Amino acid sequence: MAGLADSGSNPDVDLLYDINGLAKDAPHWFDRIMEFVGEWGLLLVMVLLILGCWWTVRRRGGDDAASSVASLIWAPLAAGVAVLVNVPIRGFVERPRPFVDHEGLEVLVAGKSDYSFVSDHSTLMMAMGVGLFLANRKFGFVGVGIALLGGFCRVYMGVHYPTDVVGGFALGTAVVLLLSPLASALLTPLVKAVERSPRVGWLVRRGSAGGRGKRVAGAGAGTGTEGGVGAEAERDLAA
């Protein structure tokens, strides 16, 4: 299994050299930017995108707020599950990093000594992107686009074959979609319970349980006061 791409005539290897060759022609400063973006930057952007989606869903409210927040919670959880699933896959395939078997690559990140198939970064980002899509279509399209860019960066950096990235995309998507019904069944009731809580209901929907409880209490207090004034007036008239 280690020889998935040993030949230079393999389209996977050809595409690797074509994409990684862009790094050779690019200025040094641009390669440093791509190194940061491909290693950490896009993962950070994806997390911020999920937080932005949560803020939007929370402000919008609606009857589907709880299910949308549950989907957002599932996105990073699914990414973690997908990476765990990838552990035995990498151990079974045992595909070396491309720079081990192929010379002349511009490797932007040193120290990668683990196996190459499938890409953890691609798995993580696509799982979060697809999970985000289940919660909100607009944010999801952006998330999937970020995941695709992240996969391109991994090949550009010389640390993965294109098929490593495609495999990561497939694995992340499969885990999210296949386990989504179970995750929704477990997470949605929990999120609805949080929504009804006076203390933390704001995490799900703005002005939910806590705010409504305060308004109802205030209205009740006002009614009670008016009733007291009315009763006192009636007693004065009777006297």
CATH code, 198:
1.20.144
Within this chain, do residues 35 and 147 fall inside the same structural domain, yes or no?
A: yes
Are the C-beta atoms of 156 and 149 separated by less than 8 Å?
Answer: no
Average confidence (pLDDT) over 216-224? 44
230 has pLDDT over 50: no
In a domain, 226, yes or no: yes
Cα 81–82–86 angle (5° rounding)?
115
In a domain, 71, yes or no: yes
Within this chain, do residues 62 and 141 fall inside the same structural domain, yes or no?
A: yes
Within this chain, do residues 47 and 130 fall inside the same structural domain, yes or no?
A: yes
Within this chain, do residues 160 and 215 fall inside the same structural domain, yes or no?
A: no
Q: Which two tokens stand for residue 205?
A: 């929907």
Q: Which two tokens stand for residue 141?
A: 């399209």
Within this chain, do residues 144 and 215 fall inside the same structural domain, yes or no?
A: no
- The average confidence (pLDDT) of the chain is 83
Average confidence (pLDDT) over 58-78? 84
Any idea which of 5-14, 17-26, 138-147, 198-207 has the lowest mean pLDDT? 5-14
Structural domain harbouring 182: 11-202
Cα 66–67–70 angle (5° rounding)?
85
CA 103 to CA 100: how far, in whole Å? 8
Average confidence (pLDDT) over 211-223? 44
Cα 204–209–211 angle (5° rounding)?
100
Average confidence (pLDDT) over 163-170? 96
- Write down the pLDDT at residue 86: 94
Within this chain, do residues 18 and 122 fall inside the same structural domain, yes or no?
A: yes
- Among residues 162, 171, 173, the alpha carbon closest in space to that of 86 is found at 171
Within this chain, do residues 127 and 167 fall inside the same structural domain, yes or no?
A: yes
Within this chain, do residues 52 and 28 fall inside the same structural domain, yes or no?
A: yes
Distances (CA, A) of 213 to 10, 151, 190, 202, 218: 65, 47, 20, 12, 8
In a domain, 57, yes or no: yes
Question: Cis (ω within 30 of 0) for the bond into 118?
Answer: yes
Cα first-last separation, the chain: 101
- Write down the pLDDT at residue 37: 93
Within this chain, do residues 149 and 222 fall inside the same structural domain, yes or no?
A: no
Within this chain, do residues 104 and 197 fall inside the same structural domain, yes or no?
A: yes
Within this chain, do residues 137 and 232 fall inside the same structural domain, yes or no?
A: no
Number of helices and strands in the chain (H, E): 9, 0
Q: How many domains does the structure of the chain reveal?
A: 2
Within this chain, do residues 158 and 100 fall inside the same structural domain, yes or no?
A: yes
- Biggest CA pair distance of the chain: 107
Tens digit of pLDDT for each residue in 39-51?
999 999 999 999 9
